[in-house]
Each structure stands twice: as C-alpha cells, then as structure tokens.
C-alpha cells in the first residue's frame, strides 16, 4: 500500500493520486464494454464538477444521487467531493415515497440521477422533472433546487440514510476522514494492489460498497468490474473472467452456490480468485467449510455498520481455519462489551471510523454516541483469542419460554440444510409467549419437507431455540445489498402469521 494514502485529507485525493501516478491504468469497467482509465475518470469528474457548479451547487450543499452502480455514479461521488458538497447516495430502486422522504429531510441543492442505467432511475428523473446533462461522465439527469449551505457539514463527505430495524430512515454523516480510514483499512485487510480486479455488485449507495469497494479501490489503485444489478449468472461469469476479489453478503453467496449446483457443478474453479469475504450474518462451521470447498480460498468474515463506515472487526484467516468469529477489531478501532462477557453483552466501539452523527437528528445522535463511543445495538462476546462473536441485534432478541433466543444462531442452523438458500428468524407474540418463526427462502419446486427440516434442526439446536412454525418463500424482502429487511417480513407474510395465531 502506497504511503501516499496517509497524506490524503479529502475523499477525492485518492482519485487525484491515481490520476497523477497511473493515468492510463484501468479504473472502472462493466460488461457492457465501458472501460475507464483513471485519466478518463478524472475527466468525467472535472466535467461534472463544472456542471454542478454551474447549477449553483456550493460547498456544504447536499446533492442527492439516485443511482445504480455505474461509472456515472462514481464520477458523481468524486465530483461532489471536489466541490466540497455532501453527496447523499440513494438507491434508484427505492420507491417514490421513499425518495420524497429523503428530499424533504435533506433539502438537497441538486438531485443527480443515473437515468440511463435503469428504468427505475429513468422513472424518478421523469417524475421529478430532472433534465439530461452530458459530458465526459456520460448521460445523467439533473434537478436544481435552491442552495442551502450548512457550515456544520464542512468535514462531511456523504450522508447515508439507513433503514434501521424500524424502517424509519436516519441520515448517517460520514466525514472525509471516516471514508479514507475505512477505505484504507479495507484495502490493507484485503492486501489490495493495482493488479486486482474487484467485483463491484455491492451497491455503492450503501456503506459496504462505498467504503470497501469504491474508496478502498481508489486508494489501492485496483480495477473495479461494476455490476448494476446482481445476478448469480453474472457473478459466475465474472469469476471465470479474472475477478480476484469478491466481497459479498450471504444472499449473494447462497444464490451463486445454488446457480452452480443447478449447472451440475460441485465447485467454482475460478483461477484468479484469491479473496472472498462474507458480511452481515454469523458463520456456521459447516457452511464455512462448504463455502471454502466451493471457492477453494479462505472465507473471511467481518462486522460493521453504516455508522462505523462499514468496518469494526474482520478476519484474515488461512484456508481451513475453523474460526467463525468476525475477527479482532481493526487496527485503530476499539471495542468493548458491557454486560456478561461470557453469554453476551452490548457492543460499543470507538475510533476514527465512527460517524459524525445523524443529520438533523440530535436526539438520535445523543442516544447513539456517548463520549466518543457508539452503542451499536448488537449483542456479542469476545473469545479467548480476542475475536468478536455477534449473537444478534438487541431489538431482535426473542424471549421464548423465558429463554433468550438469538435469531442469527437459528438462521445459521437452518441455512445448513441443502434446500434452504437462506433463512430469517423473527419472534411473534402468541398467547403471552414469543414464538420463534422461521421464514426460509427455497428454490421454486425444491421446498424441503417440513418434518425433515424439523428433524434436521433438532440435531443442531436446543428445544427452546427451534422454530415453532415455518414459512417457505421463493424470495425474501431485502435491501439492494441483499440484507434481509426483517421489519418487512411481518408485512409480507402477515397472512401466514395470522394463520399461526389461529392454530395456537
């Protein structure tokens, strides 16, 4: 890793460094034939910086970016940084009411839309009356509004609105220092170099893709293969075509394995692949062994959240290491447990990865941040090696028969079953007790026998942890990252839950 990255003070300094030292090297490409060098990206950013400035965007103004993964979106991120504006990346697949909610709260001076990339983005542009603009960045749509600079945002690079466990969005303010620290930590952990080809399907409108892909690759000079929409087929083809680093969430891994299985293959056989990580759910030992046999490389795990610029802990294990923790804290990051160290307590973290706060929400900021420490809302414990194990979200804890049930443990056991692609576990109050309900994603026409599944789980979980009822579906409500949205499960399967109540 170049020591030059230590001297970066603003987000776009990473781009500037690559342009000055390696202008002709590949920066971003996609399967549609686009291939931008760092010089191409710099020209695109320069053109867009000028267009935004002419539209009246000033330093500390907010710019809402409605986007799918694309070179145009990358150019917008860095153009806002050059202007000193605060970019608000928001996935174009969100509905019109969700977009309006963000516009009303953030009052952006401009809305930039990757309208040429998807039908959803094009529909947002038409509905908002955004006008097309063209330049070295390609084609975008731009909506101007009145400027509303905020001097309190001088150090803020972006605001990411999180869904949260309740569905109410909160704007996480990440500074330039936050993003540079997170990107550098990701690049160093993955031993990134300019020789790497990184798969970019994780949405850059979410912190994992923004920090661990966009920022990390700009710092390391790695080449990113952009994918606007995830599909197992596209990922499989990319892994046969030179991709060396794959950072993904469990749903992506599960769907890829299912795709390969349906093709009659037992493993991936990707010659260039050297690094694979999974985030967003605890690892099960059997599933990890299966994944490593599939990829033929070590499966790394990690733990982070939007409020911590993605990373808190991560592993750097060898192939075959039985460690299923999220690893030790990243260099420079502190983690403490308040409560029972053996059975689990509340996780707090502090360090240069911590957000500045929630935009225009001092009450939520004060609840989350105390004297430099962030209360994550997760429950965990350290093992003898100092590695952190995540037991679950404190708000998702199920109390069944007086016993604590942590959904991730049950989900991990269910996901071991060969016919379960992934699972989500929720609590449902029935007659004074909280029942454990499992919602399982299965392939169409390949649903497991429920009694067989109950027997499978019985050998892996204590009686009080076993689901009282099962719901099978071909897909589960999820964010663009692949993260299952548990607050939407109850709405999506309300009739099933009502049936469970009647049977109880």
Confidence check: pLDDT of 74 > 50: yes
Listed in sequence order, the residues at least 6 apart from 385 whose beta carbon sits closer than 8 Å to its beta carbon are: 323, 325, 328
Write down the CATH superfamily of domain 397-503.
Answer: ANL, C-terminal domain (3.30.300.30)
Give the pLDDT score at 165: 45
Start and end residues for every CATH 3.40.50.12780 domain found in the chain: 230-393
Write down the CATH superfamily of domain 230-393.
Answer: ANL, N-terminal domain (3.40.50.12780)
Start and end residues for every CATH 3.40.50.980 domain found in the chain: 3-26+36-177
Give the pLDDT score at 163: 62
Confidence check: pLDDT of 309 > 90: yes
Beta strands, E only, 38-129? 62-67, 86-91, 110-113
User: Could you give the percent of the chain with pLDDT greater than 90?
Assistant: 68
Q: What is the mean pLDDT of the chain?
A: 91
3-state secondary structure 166-228: CCCCEEEEEEHHHHHHHHHHHHHHCCCCCCCEEEECCCCCCHHHHHHHHHHHHHHCCEEEECC
pLDDT in tens, 33-65: 899 999 999 999 999 999 999 999 999 999 999
Start and end residues for every CATH 3.30.300.30 domain found in the chain: 397-503
**How far is residue 366's CA from residue 501's CA, in Å, rounded to a whole number?**
39
Beta strands, E only, 19-155? 26-30, 35-37, 62-67, 86-91, 110-113, 131-135, 138-144
The CATH code belonging to domain 3-26+36-177 is 3.40.50.980
The mean per-residue pLDDT over the stretch 296-304 comes to 95
**How far is residue 162's CA from residue 168's CA, in Å, rounded to a whole number?**
8
Listed in sequence order, the residues at least 6 apart from 91 whose beta carbon sits closer than 8 Å to its beta carbon are: 66, 67, 68, 203, 205, 206, 480
Give the pLDDT score at 341: 76
The four Cα atoms 477, 479, 485, 489 give a dihedral, to 10 degrees, of -10
Q: Residue 264, exposed/middle/buried by CB under 10 A (0-12, 13-18, 19+)?
A: exposed
């Amino acid at each position: 890793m170049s020591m030059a990255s230590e001297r970066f003070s603003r987000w776009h300094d990473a781009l500037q460094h690559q342009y000055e030292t390696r202008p002709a090297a590949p920066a971003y490409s996609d399967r549609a034939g686009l291939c931008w060098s760092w010089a191409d990206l710099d020209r695109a950013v320069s053109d867009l910086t000028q267009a935004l400035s002419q539209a009246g965007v000033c330093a500390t103004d907010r710019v809402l970016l409605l986007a799918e993964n694309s070179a145009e979106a990358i150019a917008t991120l860095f153009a806002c940084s050059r202007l000193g504006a605060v970019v608000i990346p928001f996935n174009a697949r969100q509905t019109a009411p969700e977009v309006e909610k963000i516009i009303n709260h953030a009052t952006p001076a401009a809305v930039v839309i990757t309208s040429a990339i998807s039908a959803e983005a094009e529909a947002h542009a038409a509905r908002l009356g955004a006008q097309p603009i063209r330049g070295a960045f390609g084609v975008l749509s731009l909506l101007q509004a009145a400027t509303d600079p905020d001097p309190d945002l001088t150090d803020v690079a972006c605001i990411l609105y999180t869904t949260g466990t309740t569905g109410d969005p909160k704007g996480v303010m990440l500074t330039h220092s936050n993003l540079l620290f997170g990107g550098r930590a990701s690049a160093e952990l993955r031993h990134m170099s300019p020789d790497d080809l990184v798969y970019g399907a994780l949405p850059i409108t979410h912190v994992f893709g923004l920090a661990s892909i966009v920022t990390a690759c700009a710092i390391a000079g790695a080449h990113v293969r952009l994918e606007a929409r995830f599909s197992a087929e596209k990922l499989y083809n990319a892994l046969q075509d030179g991709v060396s680093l794959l950072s993904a969430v469990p749903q992506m891994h599960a769907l890829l394995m299912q795709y390969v299985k349906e093709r009659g293959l037992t493993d991936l056989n990707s010659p260039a692949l050297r690094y694979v990580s999974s985030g967003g759910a605890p690892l099960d030992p059997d599933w990890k062994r299966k994944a490593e046999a599939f990829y033929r490389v070590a499966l790394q795990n990690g733990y982070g959240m939007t409020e911590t610029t993605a990373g808190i802990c991560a592993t750097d294990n060898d192939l075959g290491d039985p460690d299923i923790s999220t690893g030790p804290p990243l260099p420079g990051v502190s983690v403490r447990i308040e409560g029972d160290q053996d059975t689990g307590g509340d996780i707090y973290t502090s360090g240069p990865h911590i957000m500045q706060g929630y935009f225009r929400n001092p009450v939520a900021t004060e609840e989350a941040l105390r004297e430099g420490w962030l209360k994550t809302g997760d429950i965990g414990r350290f093992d003898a090696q100092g590695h952190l194990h995540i037991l679950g979200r404190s708000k998702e804890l199920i109390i069944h028969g007086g016993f604590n049930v942590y959904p991730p443990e049950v989900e991990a056991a269910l996901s071991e079953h060969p016919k379960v692609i992934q699972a989500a576990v929720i609590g449902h109050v029935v007659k004074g007790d909280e029942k454990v309900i499992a919602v399982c994603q299965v392939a169409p026409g390949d649903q497991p026998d429920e009694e067989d599944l109950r027997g499978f789980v019985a050998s892996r979980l204590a009686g009080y942890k076993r689901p009282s009822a099962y719901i099978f579906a071909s897909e589960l409500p999820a964010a663009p990252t692949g993260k299952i949205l548990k607050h939407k499960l109850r709405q999506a399967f309300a009739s099933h839950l009502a049936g469970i109540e009647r049977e109880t």
